[in-house]
């Protein structure tokens, strides 16, 4: 069973959170509410999120301050943030949002279809990254387990073939995603994230190739 991605919705107005849930429910992912910046930061302490939808104007800790805290934490600094605001204060206000670490900045009322499409891109990228981490962890585990196996000379070939096939499936999906982003003229941040994923895949493929019999010593470093 594929685990659902979590999307953090941050807004001090319950009706806005309800509207966001109605728009994003079609993505069939886990939607987590936070009614303040402080509540959002608490949620980020324990859970991993694919993307954060963050209201700019909130009492107490506003969206800019909340984003600054998120970007200072090593655990959360790479989570994409989409700022939502009801008032357009002009280029300076927008620039402040990007400077705070936002990947996008959307003014209310927004087009539900556009918002859902943007969020879906980051959810898909998150799922690809999760799959890549699982494959890398499996590779490490299997290689460590083979260290004391009596059949060490016989086992690795079949293991590497299996891992190579699994990696090929992920590579195929990543390639399809990259083409989709190119076709849809996606945000620069989404394209950059996809490129980062492809670099990770390339590193893992090189590590696997180095472990193939006759291609090297097997000491290649795996991507972290």
Q: What is the pLDDT of residues 131-172, one digit of tens each?
A: 877 877 777 777 776 654 544 444 556 666 777 777 777 777
Residue 95 lies inside a defined structural domain of this protein? yes
The domain that holds 49 is classified in CATH as 3.40.50.2300
Helix (H, G, I), strand (E, B) or coil at 55: strand
In a domain, 219, yes or no: no
Do the domain assignments include residue 221? no
- How many helices and strands (H and E) does the chain possess? 7, 5
- What would the pLDDT profile of 47-80 be if each residue is shown by its tens digit? 999 999 999 889 989 998 999 999 999 889 889 9
Domain assignment of residue 69, yes or no: yes
Note the pTM of the prediction, 2 decimals: 0.64
Q: Same domain for 127 and 100?
A: no
Shared-domain flag, residues 129 and 90: no
Domain range enclosing 138: 120-211
For the stretch 174-200, pLDDT in tens is 777 777 666 555 566 666 666 767 777
Quick one: 124 and 103 in the same domain?
no
C-beta atoms surrounding 192 within 10 Å: 11
Residue 196's pLDDT is 67
Would 220 be classed as within a structural domain?
no
Measured distance CA(82)–CA(168) in Å, rounded: 32
Indicate whether 105 and 135 sit together in one domain. no
Instruction: Return the SS3 of 81.
Output: strand
pLDDT in tens, 26-56: 999 999 999 999 999 999 999 999 999 999 8
Domain match, 27 and 106 both: yes
| Residues 106, 26 share a domain | yes
């Amino acid at each position: 069973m594929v685990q659902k991605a979590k999307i953090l919705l941050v807004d001090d107005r319950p009706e806005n959170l309800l509207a966001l849930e109605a728009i994003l429910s079609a993505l069939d992912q886990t939607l987590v509410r936070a009614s303040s910046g402080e509540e959002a930061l608490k949620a980020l302490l324990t859970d991993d999120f694919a993307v954060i939808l963050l209201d700019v104007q909130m009492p107490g800790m506003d969206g800019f301050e909340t984003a600054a805290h998120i970007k200072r934490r090593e655990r959360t600094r790479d989570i994409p943030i989409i700022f939502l605001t009801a008032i357009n204060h002009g280029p300076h206000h927008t620039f402040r949002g990007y400077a705070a670490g936002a990947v996008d900045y959307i003014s209310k009322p927004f087009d539900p279809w556009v918002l859902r499409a943007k969020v879906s891109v980051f959810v898909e990228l998150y799922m690809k990254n999760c799959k890549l981490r699982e494959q890398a962890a499996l590779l490490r585990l299997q290689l460590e387990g083979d260290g004391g196996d009596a059949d060490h000379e016989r086992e690795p070939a079949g293991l590497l073939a299996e891992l190579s096939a699994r990696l090929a499936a992920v590579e195929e999906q990543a390639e399809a995603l990259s083409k989709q982003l190119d076709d849809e003229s996606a945000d620069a941040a989404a394209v950059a994230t996809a490129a980062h994923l492809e670099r990770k895949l390339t590193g893992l493929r090189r590590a696997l190739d180095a472990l193939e019999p006759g291609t090297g010593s097997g000491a290649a470093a795996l991507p972290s």
